[in-house]
């Protein structure tokens, strides 16, 4: 009997221990911690993605701004170049118009001289004929007049150059030789063919009695000045002032000496 009682007590203790085990609350702390970690990871990943997206947007914007600034700089440079070219073209046009006006004034004066009657000769000697103002050869005078008309009436400057060159070949000893050299010089000067212009004006200077000599010296000074030879230009201008002090050419030369 005592044995049965001992067994009953043992079974009771075992049952009580089992009930305690089954009655213990479930460990929920681990599940809660796992859920919090997962949520935190999700928020962190989302924040990183948003930052990366903003960084990409900022980089793209900065790149576009740099490209636009480069395009603006290029356009500004091109505009400045175009403005400079326009100003240069305007200056060249004004210079060309000024040279043409000077050329037409001189041509009008030459035409007036050619229409004057031939001066009466004091003797039968041909040496009494004034140089560069009259020729007894009708063909020679017509050839010279035709060359002048190519400039004054037709404005065919290339044709005038050819006509004056041919005139010099046909009439090398013409009374109009100084004028022919002078107008060739003017035509070359207008075309900025300075080497040819200087040769023609120098030929005019060799005719001591030519009424174009003073102006030819001024033009030689202008050519030297245009080619940045200031010292040589001043020599020509000073020569005009010294040799033709009361002439209109001397006034022009004096202005260039200032």
Q: Which residues contact 254 (CB under 8 A, 6 or more apart)?
A: 237, 241
pLDDT on residue 51 = 79
| Residue 44 in domain | no
pLDDT on residue 198 = 96
| Residue 121 in domain | no
pLDDT on residue 250 = 94
> Alpha-carbon distance 129 to 115, whole Å?
16
* Count of other CB atoms within 10 angstroms of residue 97: 10
CA dihedral over 38, 43, 49, 52, signed as positive or negative: negative
Element (H, E) at 74: helix 29-115
Residues 156 and 107 in one domain: no
Residues 190 and 249 in one domain: yes
Give per-residue burial for 230-247: e unless 16+ CB within 10 Å, then b.
Answer: eeebbebbbbbbeebeeb
pLDDT on residue 176 = 93
Residues 181 and 106 in one domain: no
Give per-residue burial for 141-179: e unless 16+ CB within 10 Å, then b.
Answer: bebbeebbebbbeeeebeebbebbeebbeebeebbbbbb
| Residue 181 in domain | yes
Residues 106 and 141 in one domain: no
> Alpha-carbon distance 65 to 51, whole Å?
21
> Alpha-carbon distance 234 to 253, whole Å?
9
pTM of the model: 0.53
Residues 97 and 145 in one domain: no
Residues 106 and 139 in one domain: no
- Coil/strand/helix, residue 103: helix
Range of the domain at 101: 64-112
Residues 102 and 203 in one domain: no
187 alpha-carbon distance from chain centroid:
25
- The CATH number for 140's domain is 1.25.40.10
| Residue 156 in domain | yes
Could you give the number of structural domains in the chain? Answer: 2
Residues 108 and 140 in one domain: no
Element (H, E) at 135: none
pLDDT on residue 111 = 54
Residues 73 and 174 in one domain: no
| Residue 82 in domain | yes
| Residue 208 in domain | yes
| Residue 70 in domain | yes
Segments in the chain below pLDDT 70: 1-46, 48, 80, 84, 88, 91-92, 94-136
> Alpha-carbon distance 74 to 66, whole Å?
12
| Residue 7 in domain | no
């Amino acid at each position: 009997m005592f044995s049965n009682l001992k067994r009953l007590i043992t079974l009771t203790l075992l049952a009580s221990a089992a009930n305690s085990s089954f009655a213990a609350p479930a460990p929920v702390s681990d599940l809660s911690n796992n859920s919090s970690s997962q949520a935190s990871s999700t928020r962190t990943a989302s924040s990183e993605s948003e930052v990366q997206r903003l960084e990409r947007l900022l980089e793209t914007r900065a790149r576009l701004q740099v490209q636009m600034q480069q395009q603006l700089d290029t356009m500004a440079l091109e505009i400045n170049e175009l403005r400079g070219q326009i100003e240069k073209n305007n200056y060249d046009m004004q210079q060309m118009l000024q040279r043409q006006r000077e050329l037409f004034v001189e041509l009008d004066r030459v035409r007036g001289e050619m229409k004057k009657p031939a001066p009466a000769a004091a003797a039968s000697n041909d040496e009494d004929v004034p140089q560069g103002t009259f020729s007894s050869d009708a063909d020679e005078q017509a050839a010279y007049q035709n060359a002048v008309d190519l400039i004054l009436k037709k404005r065919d400057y290339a044709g005038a150059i050819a006509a004056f060159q041919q005139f010099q070949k046909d009439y090398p000893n013409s009374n109009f030789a100084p004028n022919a050299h002078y107008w060739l010089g003017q035509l070359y000067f207008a075309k900025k063919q300075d080497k040819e212009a200087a040769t023609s004006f120098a030929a005019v200077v060799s005719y001591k009695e030519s009424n174009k000599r003073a102006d030819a010296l001024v033009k030689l000074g202008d050519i030297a000045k245009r080619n940045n030879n200031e010292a040589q230009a001043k020599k020509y201008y000073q020569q005009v002032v010294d040799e033709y002090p009361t002439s209109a050419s001397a006034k022009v030369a004096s202005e260039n000496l200032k």
